[in-house]
Amino acid sequence: MSDTEARKQFVEDLTDQTDDFSRWYNEVVRKAQLADYSPVRGSMVIRPYGYGLWENMQRLLDRRIKETGHQNAYFPLLIPESLLQLEADHVEGFAPECAWVTHGGREQLEERFAIRPTSEAIIGHMYSKWIESYRDLPILINQWANVMRWEKVTRLFLRTAEFLWQEGHTAHATEQECLEEVLRMLEVYRDFVETELAIPVYPGKKSDAERFAGAQDTYTIEALMKDGKALQAGTSHHLGQHFAKVFDITYQDEQGKRQFVWQTSWGVSTRLVGALVMTHGDDQGLRLPPNVAPIQAVIVPIWRKDADRSSVLEFIAKVKAAVGKDVRLHVDDRDQYSPGWKYNEYEMRGVPVRLEIGPKDVANAAVMSVRRDTRGKESIPLANLAERLPVLLDEIQRSLFEQAKAFRAENTVMVGTKDEAIAHFGAEKRGFVAMPWDGSAAVEGEIKERCGATLRCMPLDPSPFESIARPNHRVALFARAY
Amino acid sequence: MSDTEARKQFVEDLTDQTDDFSRWYNEVVRKAQLADYSPVRGSMVIRPYGYGLWENMQRLLDRRIKETGHQNAYFPLLIPESLLQLEADHVEGFAPECAWVTHGGREQLEERFAIRPTSEAIIGHMYSKWIESYRDLPILINQWANVMRWEKVTRLFLRTAEFLWQEGHTAHATEQECLEEVLRMLEVYRDFVETELAIPVYPGKKSDAERFAGAQDTYTIEALMKDGKALQAGTSHHLGQHFAKVFDITYQDEQGKRQFVWQTSWGVSTRLVGALVMTHGDDQGLRLPPNVAPIQAVIVPIWRKDADRSSVLEFIAKVKAAVGKDVRLHVDDRDQYSPGWKYNEYEMRGVPVRLEIGPKDVANAAVMSVRRDTRGKESIPLANLAERLPVLLDEIQRSLFEQAKAFRAENTVMVGTKDEAIAHFGAEKRGFVAMPWDGSAAVEGEIKERCGATLRCMPLDPSPFESIARPNHRVALFARAY
């Protein structure tokens, strides 16, 4: 088999989603060159195409984080074991999955360091040094960083030993301001994920069993993947005064009295790349939302005779000039691959729009556009392209969101009782089940044990579920989850 | 002492550079809130003001890296010990200063992992999997990441166990292309550091004794700090085929023959923040080049009577609207600090321009600008501000560069012989000494041993030193260095 044939087969051999979703996922992530396995157990390599996607996500989220008054900073990768152990729930939650540094150079260290699984401990320690008076509050800091959790079972992007994320850490004078911040950042996440990633989410509150180790309350946005499993896409924690008390983070209030601060933390990670793949992908590969796609439109030149080559390439130069810098455009003029091969490759990689340009198009002074999401074709005159292409990209962005919303609606059921929920998961094993819940940990535990479904959240907006509303109950969404 | 008095003293107590430069440096970095010590030995916290500076540097360098055809990616933090040991010089250079992970969760690992001190090994391993044919070359990848070197003696930004950097790693079909890439990136660094950081540098080649562990040749840009010590501000390595041979990175050429690739790697780090501080700072604190300053101009409102307050604040709103988004403007309207206190604080933090706005300025429809670099004052009418302020910032940027160049010229001497070089360092201990060098390691070693001065580089452009040119010799620059 030649090199070219081998590559062609590589692209064509994609497992169907319905045959084996998990296998489809692993294949598409590698075939689209988002990521690759590494020689380090559970750690992945994020390849340029995957990292370009992450950079676009970072840029759009970082802007929102700064617009809400936060500044970025950087804290140490290593956390002394003694610091991590100060908050009891926190250490219980994270210590079993820490990677431990025991030697520096040729010497054994006196104290072990954990590679940060999250940074509440080290940041809490610094805040106790920086905060003196009410004038120093609020502190609104975010960090973009790598973190590590030594997981037993790993999946590219979804669960890796090392991953990239941002973690916000804020300190406030009052519980009211603290709670406002928790909900503000949850809304930033909802807006970012729905607007830019075209993934519909339910914002809500976690149950006690599911909250972050060390938090008073955890809020979440929950998405639904195409195999019917839920995915926690971002969390915002109300830390209360738990960390303030163990790290002694106090301020002098206007009356000169020492008070403990109130804290939040919130984060999203490269896991969102996995969510993007599993929300929008199909049997031909990725379908990337234009707002974050590294390549928004790819130009594939077509010629049979060498004589056509120069006129096609000249026309492409005009197309590039007309489109300008507003669209992330890529021209694939490689000779060694056929147009058909390129169509398959860019479908696999989820490029939202393909522009085919052959001698006929040159003659008509137009390009043939093909949408990745619907495969809809449209000949666009060169004269209209600068105006039409951005609009087309917006249409695709909206269409992907609507498709995902429709899928979620089809896969969300409302039940009145625990037994109905259990019956549903027995038959279907997929989707969200909305159920009135009285807060009983026993009910939550029984559903988890019998169906493998966890309480994903209590939606902040219960109005879509009002038909199942009951006094002294809250609506809770259950699902099997990543 | 009240909180406010304590803070005032904190700002005023800055050691003079001439009294103790090293102490001045440590103080200014902390007083300007660029960074702070952490509870982790040798690791620092980069505070929002310091990180904002780094983000501006990243943005300006990342643009240049992408414009020269590179893409960003992300490789694992951990490197298996066996991989690191494949290249003999490389492991000898780095293994003694690695932090080692020996435990994952509660289990001891079968093989230790180093926290990356640099990523040639792990990236070389991946390139051996990705590269098959000449069509896959060149590979032009950059990574922004944290790295760790377990140093015995550390200094904020200059030498810390953990630091942030970018590392480019490229693979090419021919040595010619490889060398072109090495010099292209060295020129990117020179342009970035001189244009954006206003730090003049000598680009040149390292001697065998000073080159990177595992490289065939190392190129560097060398800067001069205000205490007369040199600082290596960036390096670009010609790796030859050393790593290709041990990691088996080969490609099939057009004739179907297996060939080893040629590789480069190049990097700059948060050390550049230290270079910025030590190139431009003075006895009042930092002086930041406008191109990278987190705040380019700070507005300090002035009023004696409460009656003036609203008219001053109204005028400031007009000033903000006039300046628009082209200038990074900050208004410090905190009531608890006096204008004089604020002047000191923003001088300490190196903000390039202060705009003082009081009742008299409001009456004249003008602002009083004060340059940080020269303290030059200029009343700028509101009507001219949008035009004048960016020009003023450019003038400051150029002025800082010219001041640094003049300082370097005053502190560079040319000598004809080794003995003259040794005599100079005996008397002065500072600055660059340019000397004709025949390539003798013994001469290089003697100067190092007797004067503590190392061979910084052989300048790519020897023309400034032509008066000392000798046949069969190259010009070499010696200096004591960070």
The alpha carbon of residue B115 is apart from the nearest alpha carbon of chain A, in Å, by 9
Chain B, 198-237: which have a CB under 8 Å from a chain A CB?
A: none
Residue among B85, B83, B103 nearest B93 (CA): B85
- The pLDDT, as a whole number, for residue B5 is 63
- Smallest CA–CA distance, residue B434 to chain A, in Å, is 36
Whether B99 contacts chain A with CB within 8 A: yes
Residues 1-30, chain A: which have Cβ within 8 Å of B? 3
Which tens digits make up the pLDDT trace of B189-209? 999 999 999 999 999 999 999
Q: How far is A416 from chain B (nearest CA, A)?
A: 42
Residue B451: pLDDT above 60? yes
Q: List, in sequence order, the alpha helices (H) in A411-435.
A: 418-427
Place of tokens 């169906």: A451
Shortest CB distance from A104 goes to which of B125, B146, B150? B150
Q: Which pLDDT score is estimated for B44?
A: 97
Of A105, A112, A334, the CB nearest to B98: A105
pLDDT of residue A185: 98
Reduced to 3 states (helix: H, G, I; strand: E, B; else coil), residue A155 is strand
Chain A CB contacts of B98 under 8 Å are 105
Residues of chain A found within 8 Å of residue B31, distances taken between Cβ atoms: none
Angle at CA B322, nearest 5°, toward B316 and B324?
105
Distance from CA of B79 to the nearest CA of A (A): 7
The answer to whether residue B6 scores a pLDDT higher than 70 is no
Asked if B150 has any chain A CB less than 8 Å from its own CB, the reply is yes
Report the distance separating Cα A120 and Cα B139, nearest Å: 39
Distance (Å, whole) CA A346 – CA A355 = 11
Radius of gyration over every alpha carbon of chain A, rounded to an integer in angstroms:
25
pLDDT reported for residue B7: 60
8 Å CB contact of B39 and A129: no
What CA–CA distance (Å, rounded) separates B246 from A246?
50
> Are residues A15 and B108 in contact, defined by beta-carbon separation less than 8 angstroms?
no
- Tell whether the model's pLDDT for residue B10 goes beyond 70: no
The number of C-beta contacts closer than 8 angstroms across A and B is 155
Helix runs in B68-174, H state only: 81-84, 88-94, 120-130
* pLDDT at A5 (0 to 100): 63
Please name every residue paired with B356 in a beta bridge, in sequence order, or none if there are none.
Answer: B300, B368
Of residues B304 and B453, more confidently modeled: B453
Q: Which residues of B touch A38 (CB under 8 A)?
A: 75-76, 122, 126
Residue B1 has pLDDT above 50, yes or no: no
Q: For A47-61, B89-103, B397-411, B429-443, which range has the lowest pLDDT when averaged over its residues?
A: B89-103
Average pLDDT value for residue range B33-51:
96
Put simply, whether B441 touches A (Cβ < 8 Å) is no
On chain B, the residues whose CB falls within 8 A of the CB of A141 are: 48
For position A90, what pLDDT does the model report?
83
Characterize B302-323 residue by residue with b for buried, 16 or more Cβ atoms within 10 angstroms of its Cβ, and e for exposed: bbeeeebeeebeebbeebeeeb
| Per-residue confidence (pLDDT) for residue B8, from 0 to 100 | 61
Query: What pLDDT score does A370 carry?
Result: 98
Residues 233-262 of A with CB under 8 A from B: 252
Q: Residues of A with CB below 8 A from B336's CB?
A: 135
Residues of B within 8 A of A132 (CB-CB) are: 3
Tokens encoding B304: 């004696």
Q: Do B45 and A97 touch (CB under 8 A)?
A: no
Nearest CA to B412 out of B238, B224, B227, B131 is that of B224
Contacts of B80 in chain A (CB under 8 A): 39-40
Give this prediction's pTM: 0.96
The percent of residues above 70 in pLDDT, for chain B, comes to 98
Nearest to B75 among A45, A54, A113 (CB): A45
Burial B122-157 (b: 16+ CB within 10 A, else e): bbbbbbbeebeebbbbbbbbbbbbbbbbbbeebbbb
Set of chain B residues whose Cβ sits within 8 Å of the Cβ of A122:
38-40
pLDDT, mean over chain B: 95
Closest alpha carbon within chain A to B113: A40
* Contact (CB<8Å) A76/B336: no
Q: Is A83 on the interface with B (CB under 8 A)?
A: yes
Helix, strand, or coil (residue A363) = helix
Q: How far apart are CA A438 and CA A471, in angstroms?
A: 9
Beta strands in B273-384 (DSSP E): 297-301, 329-331, 353-357, 366-371, 377-381
Stretch B408-421: mean pLDDT, rounded? 97
HSE at residue A344, side-chain half, CA atoms within 13 A, is 13
Average pLDDT over residues B280-289: 97
Chain B touched by A48 (CB under 8 Å): yes
Across B257-262, average pLDDT: 98
B74 contact A CB<8A? yes
- Beta-strand pair B250-252/B230-240: unpaired
CB contact under 8 A, B40 and A78: yes
The pLDDT assigned to B388 comes to 98
- Residue B78 CA, chain-centre distance (Å), reads 25
Per-residue model confidence (pLDDT) at position A1: 45
Which residues in A lie closer than 8 A to residue B97 (C-beta atoms)? 105
**Closest CA in chain B for residue A134:** B3
Residue B152 has what pLDDT?
Answer: 82
Token pair of B344 as six digits: 């000191």
Each of the 482 residues of chain A gets a pLDDT tens digit; together they read 455 566 666 667 899 999 999 999 999 999 999 999 999 988 999 999 999 999 999 999 999 999 999 999 999 999 999 999 998 888 888 888 999 999 999 999 999 999 999 999 999 999 999 999 999 999 999 999 999 999 888 899 999 999 999 999 999 999 999 999 999 999 999 999 999 999 999 999 999 999 998 899 999 999 999 999 999 999 999 999 999 999 999 999 999 999 999 999 999 999 999 999 999 999 999 999 999 999 999 999 999 888 899 999 999 999 999 999 999 999 999 988 999 999 999 999 999 999 999 999 999 999 999 999 999 999 999 999 999 999 999 999 999 999 999 999 999 999 999 999 999 999 888 999 999 999 999 999 999 999 999 999 999 999 999 999 999 999 999 999 99
Residues of A within 8 A of B164 (CB-CB) are 74
Q: Tell whether A108 is within 8 A of chain B (Cβ).
A: no
